[in-house]
Amino acid sequence: MFGDYSIGDLGSIFVMQGFAGLILFSVYVLMALGLAIIFGQMGVINMAHGEFMILGAYVTWLTSSAFQHYLPALFPGYFFLAMVLAFMASGALGMLVEWGLIRHLYKRPLDTLLATWGLSLILQQTYRSVFGAREVGVELPQWMLGSKQITDTIEVPINGIFVMCLTVLITIVVAYVMYKSRWGRQVRAVVQNRIMAGAVGINTEKVDRYTFGLGCGIAGVAGSAFTMIGSTGPTSGQLYIVDTFLVVVFGGAASLIGTIASAFSISQTQSTLEFFMSGSMAKVLTLLAIVGILMLRPQGLFALKVRK
Amino acid sequence: MLIGHQPKEFLLAVEALTVSFDGFKAVNDLSFYVEENEIRVIIGPNGAGKTTVLDLICGKTKATSGSIQFRGQELTRMKENQIVQTGVGRKFQTPSVFVDLTVFENLEISYPRGRTVFGSLAFQRDAAVRDRVEEVAEMIFLKDRLDTYADELSHGQKQWLEIGMLLIQDPDLLMLDEPVAGMSVSERAKTAELLNRIIKGRSVLVIEHDMKFVEDIAHKVTVLHQGQILSEGTMEHVKNDPKVIEVYLGH
Amino acid sequence: MIINSRFFNRSELIGFVALAALLFVILPLSLDVFRLNLVAKYLTYAFVGIGLVLCWGYGGILSLGQGVFFGLGGYCMAMFLKLEASSPENTKIQSTPGIPDFMDWNQITSLPLFWQPFHSLTLTILAIILVPGLFALIIGTAMFKRRVGGTYFAIITQAVAAILTILIVGQQGYTGGINGMTDLRTLKGWDIRPDHAKVMLYFFEVFLLFGCILLAQFIRLTKLGRILVAMREQEDRVRFSGYSVANFKIFAFCMAAIFAAIGGAMFALNVGFMSPSFVGIVPSIEMVIYTAVGGRMSIFGAVWGSLLVNFAKTGLSESFPQLWLFGLGGLFIAVVLAFPNGLSGIWADHVQPRIDRLMTWRKPKPAKAWTDSSVADGAPAE
C-alpha cells in the first residue's frame, strides 16, 4: 500500500495524519485517565463512561449555543467556560451514581459492569428524550479554525494543537493531584489497604465518591474535546468505551505513562492507517493488533511485578 | 547420575532459592532439605518469607532463581496442577474450601482421579470413591456432616475439611500454613492429634506461630528471618540459639 | 446420606415438564404462525442463555461477546441457504449468475474460496459447530492459559464482537455488509418461507433446544459441573487440587460458544436472514441480560428469561419505543442490585417454599440427618 508514494510523501503523510490524530489522542487520554482512576481505585469498570463524556459534549454544545445567542462578543472564549461546566456536570452526575449504584456493588466487578451498562442505556435514552435523536454539532470560534503551514506539504490544524496542550495540562494537574496532594495520598492509601486506611481516619466512602466523581468529570472534559472531532448524538459515547478500556489495559492499568503511551500509539496507528484504507478497516486492524498483543502480553505494556 | 560420591536422597531439596518483587528480595538464597517422613516446622517473625517459601514450592509464585527438587524432579518449571500430581499438597492460611458444595463434594473433587476435562466428565462416583471419602471424613471428624454445605461449617471445621481435601490426594509432601490459627483450645488439641495421625508415610512442612503446638509435632525447626535461614535444628537447639533470641526478643 | 443420582430433582422435573408443555403444546395451540415464529426467534437466544449459564453462572466467566458465536453459527447457516437461493436459474439476470446477489453488486465475479464448503449441508453443519468452537478455543487458550479473567476477559470479548461487526459491515462483497444475508429461500429444495414450514422449523428448534437443555444438565451433574462451581469460588484451591483451571474454563467457554452458534443457525433458519446487528456489542450484552433475568444459575431460567424479556421488548417497543431502553437499563440494574439469581432465584426463595409448605402441610418433614451432638462437637468451644 506504500508503493505508490515517495519517501518524502510518506514522511509528510505520517506527520499530517499524526497531527490529525492529535484530537483522537486527546480524547483517548482524557477518557482513559478517568477510566483508569476509577478502575485503579475501585476495580470498577464504568461502562457508562462514554455517556459521561457525551454529557460533557452536550454541555459544551449548550454553552456554545448560549454564547452565540446571548453573548456573541464573548463567543471566542466559550470553550474555557464550557470545559469547566462539562467537568462539573459529569462529575456531579458521577458522584450521584456512585452514591446510588456503585457503592452497593464493590467486590462484584462483573455485576458492576452489567449495572453500569444498564445505566448507560438509561442515560442514552435520557439524552435522546432531552436533546433529540439528531446529532448536534458545535460551531468552533474563528481562532480555532484553519491550520498552520509548517512546510510546503505539512500543515497542522490549530484546534488539534490547542486540545493537545489542554490535555497535557489536565494530565499534569491529575498527576499532581494523585501523586502529590494530601487527597491523592488518601486515595492511594485506600487502594493499598482499605481497612487500614479507614482505621487511620480516612473517610473511605468519601474518597471513593470523590474519586468516581473526578474520573467522570475528566470524561466530561474529554466530551468537550470530542465536540471538535465529531458531532454529538445520544449513542456517540458507546463507541468509545471499548476503545478506551483497551487503551487502559494496553498501557498497563495503574500506570499513568503507560496510559498516555498507549493512547498515543493507538490513536496514531488508527489515524495513519486511515489514510491508506477505509476508516472501518483501519479500526479493525488497530483493534486486532491491540487484542493480539494483549493475548501475548495480558499485563499490558507497563506493569509492575507484585506478589498477589 | 554421578558415580562415586552419592548425596543422600532427600524428599525435598531447596537450593539457592531467590525471589524478588520489584527489587525486594522476599526469599534470598535460601537452601534447606526435608527428609522422608520428617515433620519440619518453619517459624519466623512476620514478613520473614515463610508463606512465600510455600508459595514457591507449590508453584503459586515463580522463583527468580534457584532450584526446588522434589524426588529428583525440578518443581520450578512445572505448573501448579503438575506439582500437585507429583505429590505435593498445600493448605492455605485462610481456609479455602468450596462453600457452595457439600463436604462430600469438596472431598470428592480432591480425589485423585478424573483430573482432566474429559476425565471429569466421565468420572463416576463409585464405591471406591465413596469409601475413601467416608474414610477421610471420619479422620477429620466430619463423618456426620457429609451432606452439609461447607459454608455452614465452623472455622475450625473448614480448616479440617481443607486438611481432609489434602489427605484424599495422598501427597508425599504436605504443606500446611498455620493449621491451628483461629482455632479453639479443644480444636487445637484435636488438630494436633489429627496431624500426628496423618503424617505416617509422608513428610510435612508446617508454618506455625503457636510454640506449644510446634514443640508437640516438630522433628526439626527452621527459623527464617528476612528471607534467609537464621537457624535450623531441633526445637531445643533453636530455642537456645542466641541469634534467634536476638530476633524474637531483641526489638 | 443423600447422594442424588437422579437426573432431575423434584423441582427441576416440574420445571422441565412445565417448559415442555409450554413449548410443545400451549404456545403452538394458542398462537398464530406469526407469533409462533416470533417465539422461535426468541428461543434462539435461549441457546445462548444455556451456554451462558454454564460459562458465567457456573464457571464465573462473563463473556460479553456471545454475539460473535451466535453470528458465526448464523452466518454459516445463512451462507448455505444463500448459495442455494443463488442458483444460476434464480440469478440469471446478474452479470455473474450463480453467486449471491450482493457479490454481484460489489463486482465480484467468482465465488470466494471460503464460500465453497457451504455448498454442502454436511460441511455447513460441521462448520456451525467447529468454526465457533475453534474460535472460542483460540481466544480461551490465549486468555485463560495466561490467567486473564474477570472484567478483563469480558472487555476483550466485547472488543472481539466490535471487530467482527466492523469487519462484516466493511467487507460487503463477501458478507452482504450492513444488510446481511437476506432473501433466504430453501433448505435442500424445501421452501422455508410458508407457514407450515415455519411451524415445522419451530418444532425442530424446540427439539434441539431440549437436546441442549439435557446436554447442559448432564454437564452440570458431572464432576466437571462441580469443578466449575468450585473454580468460581476458589480458583487456587482447584488448581492445588491438581486440576488445570485454564482447561476447564476453555471447555466451558467453548461449550457456551457452540450453544450460541446453534442458536444463531436456528435464527437464520427461522427468521430467514442474518445480519451484523445480531453480532455486535449491544446484542451480545442483551443476551447476557436475558440470562441474568432468568437466573444465571438456572438452565430453565435462561429459556424463560429469553422468552419474557423479548416479549416485553416487542410489546414495549411497539407501543412505547422510548420506554424500552429505560426498561432494559432498569432491568440490568434491578437484576444486579436486587435479584442476582433472577426469576429462578425468586421462584426458589419465595414461591417454592410456599408450595412446599402446602404440600408438606399434612405429612411432617423427616428429621435432619445429623443430630445436635454433631453440631456441638464441631462448634468452637470458646
* pLDDT for A153 beyond 80: no
Q: Is the pLDDT of residue B78 over 80?
A: yes
pLDDT for C5: 53
Q: C293 falls in which pLDDT band (50, 70, 90)?
A: very high
Contacts of B63 in chain A (CB under 8 A): none
- Residue B105 C-beta-side C-alpha neighbours within 13 Å: 25
Of A230-244, C134-148, C266-280, the range with the lowest mean pLDDT is A230-244
Please give the average per-residue pLDDT across B89-118, as a whole number.
90
Strand stretches in chain A, DSSP E: 147-149, 155-157
CB contact under 8 A, B61 and A306: no
- Cα–Cα distance, C64 to C155 (Å, whole number): 7
Mean pLDDT of all residues belonging to chain C: 88
CB contacts < 8 A (B, C): 114
What mean pLDDT comes out for the span A173-188? 84
The alpha helices in A102-203, defined as continuous H runs, are: 109-131, 158-179, 182-192, 194-199
Structure confidence at residue A182 (pLDDT): 85
Residues of B in contact with C57 (CB under 8 A): none
Residue of B nearest to C369 (CA): B144
pLDDT band at A4; cut points 50, 70, 90: low
B52 close to A (CB below 8 A): yes
- Interval B209-213 mean pLDDT: 82
Q: Is C27 within 8 Å of chain A by CB? A: no
pLDDT tens digits along A49-58:
999 999 999 9
Q: At C363, is the pLDDT very low, low, confident or very high (cuts 50, 70, 90)?
A: low
Which of A65-79, B165-179, C181-195 bottoms out in mean pLDDT, i.e. has the lowest? A65-79
Q: Is the ipTM of this complex over 0.90?
A: no
Tell me the residue type at B161: L
A277 in reach of chain C (CB within 8 A): no
What is the Cα Rg of chain A in Å? Answer: 20
Note whether A104 contacts C: Cβ–Cβ < 8 A. Answer: yes
What's the predicted TM-score (pTM) here? 0.89
Residue C114 pLDDT class (50, 70, 90 cuts):
very high
CB contacts of A299 in chain B (<8 Å) are none
Give how far B60 is from chain A: nearest CA, Å.
9
Show which subunits contact A, needing at least 3 CB pairs below 8 angstroms: B, C
Pairing of strands B24-34, B12-21: antiparallel
Lowest mean pLDDT among A16-20, A60-64, B155-159, B187-191: A16-20
Residues paired with B25 in a beta bridge: B20
SS3 B27: strand
Which chain B residues are closer than 8 Å to C237 by Cβ?
A: 92, 96-98, 162, 165
Q: How far is A279 from chain C (nearest CA, A)?
A: 9
Angle among Cα A68, A73, A75 to the nearest 5 degrees reads: 45
Q: What is the pLDDT of residue C3?
A: 42
Distance of CA C313 to the CA centre of its chain: 18
> Which three-class secondary structure state does DSSP give residue A36?
helix
The rounded distance, in Å, linking the Cα atoms of A95 and A87 is: 12
**Chain C contact present for B100, CB below 8 A:** yes
pLDDT at position C361 is 65
Q: Is C351 on the interface with A (CB under 8 A)?
A: no
Q: Which residues of C fall within a CB distance of 8 Å from B141?
A: 377-378
Give the confidence band of B8 by pLDDT, cuts at 50, 70, 90: low
Q: Is C372 within 8 Å of chain B by CB?
A: no
Mean pLDDT of C222-242: 92
Q: C-alpha distances in angstroms, C265 versus A191, C52, C124, C200, C343?
A: 46, 17, 10, 15, 27
Task: State the smallest CA–CA distance between residue B85 and chain C in angstroms.
Answer: 6
DSSP A151-174: SSS-EEEHHHHHHHHHHHHHHHHH
Query: Are the CB atoms for B151 and B100 separated by under 8 Å?
Result: yes
Task: Note the pLDDT tens digit of each residue in A57-107.
Answer: 999 999 999 988 888 888 888 888 999 999 999 999 999 999 999 888 887
Contact flag B101-C226 (C-beta cutoff 8 Å)? yes
Please check the confidence at residue B4 and state whether its pLDDT lies above 80. Answer: no
Q: Quick one: pLDDT at residue A3? A: 62
Are A125 and C151 inside 8 Å of each other by CB? no
Q: What is the mean pLDDT of residues A187-196?
A: 80
Query: Of residues C151 and A47, which shows the higher confidence score?
Result: A47
Given this model, what pLDDT does residue A258 score?
83
Chain A positions touching C333 (Cβ under 8 A) are 101, 115, 118-119, 122
The answer to whether residue A124 neighbours chain C at the CB level (below 8 Å) is yes
**pLDDT at residue C258 tops 90:** yes
Contact B141 C226 (CB under 8 A): no
What band does A241 get if pLDDT is binned at 50, 70 and 90?
A: confident
Say yes or no: A110 contacts chain B, CB-CB below 8 A: no
Give the percent of chain A with pLDDT over 90. Answer: 20
Distance, CA of A86 to CA of A78 (rounded, Å): 12
Provide the edge-to-edge strand list for the sheet that holds B203-207: B88-91, B173-177, B203-207, B39-43, B220-225, B228-233
At A308 the pLDDT is: 37
Pairwise CB contact (< 8 Å): B156 & C251:
no
Residue numbers in B near A307 (CB within 8 A): 21, 26, 52, 61
Whether residue B161 contacts residue B106, with contact meaning beta carbons closer than 8 Å, is answered with yes
Please give, rounded to a whole number of angstroms, the shortest distance from the CA of B22 to a CA of chain A: 6
Q: In terms of Cα–Cα distance, which of C76, C118, C84 is closest to C100?
A: C84
CB contact under 8 A, C226 and B108: yes
Residue C351 is placed in which grid cell?
A: 414461591
The pLDDT-based confidence of C57 (bands split at 50, 70, 90) is very high
Using DSSP's 3-state secondary structure scheme, residue A296 falls into: helix
pLDDT of residue C33: 93
Confidence class for position B249, pLDDT limits 50, 70, 90 = low
* Close Cβ partners of A57 (under 8 Å, ≥ 6 residues apart): A86, A138, A223, A224, A226, A227, A232, A236
Residues B24-48 have pLDDT tens digits of 888 888 999 998 888 899 988 888 8
Strand segments, DSSP code E, in chain B are 12-21, 24-34, 39-43, 65-70, 73-74, 88-91, 173-177, 203-207, 220-225, 228-233
Q: What is the mean pLDDT of residues A170-179?
A: 86
Given CB atoms, is A299 within the 8 Å cutoff of chain B? no
Residue in C223, C236, C239 closest to B120 by CB: C223
**Digit-coded pLDDT (tens) for C123-150:** 999 999 999 999 999 999 988 988 887 8
Mean pLDDT score across all residues of chain A = 83
Grid cell for residue C46? 435461549
Residue B57, min C-alpha distance to chain C (Å): 12
pLDDT digits (tens, 9 = 90+) for A109-149: 888 888 999 999 999 999 999 998 888 888 877 777 777 77
* Nearest by CB: A118 against C169, C333, C340: C333
pLDDT digits (tens, 9 = 90+) for B176-204: 988 888 788 888 888 888 888 887 788 99
The whole-chain average pLDDT of chain B stands at 87
**B22 in A contact zone (CB under 8 Å):** yes
Nearest residue in C to A285, CA atom: C163
Cβ distance of A295 and C158 shorter than 8 Å: no
Question: Using 50, 70 and 90 to split pLDDT, how confident is the model at B92?
Answer: confident
Residues of C in contact with B54 (CB under 8 A): none
Query: Which residue of chain C comes nearest to A249, CA vs CA?
Result: C152
Q: Which chains touch B (3 or more CB pairs under 8 A)?
A: A, C
Instruction: Judge residue A198's burial from the number of C-beta atoms within 10 Å of its C-beta, 0-12 exposed, 13-18 middle, 19 or more buried.
Output: middle
Average pLDDT for C65-69: 96
SS3 B102: strand
Nearest CA among C129, C237, A272 for reference residue B109: C237
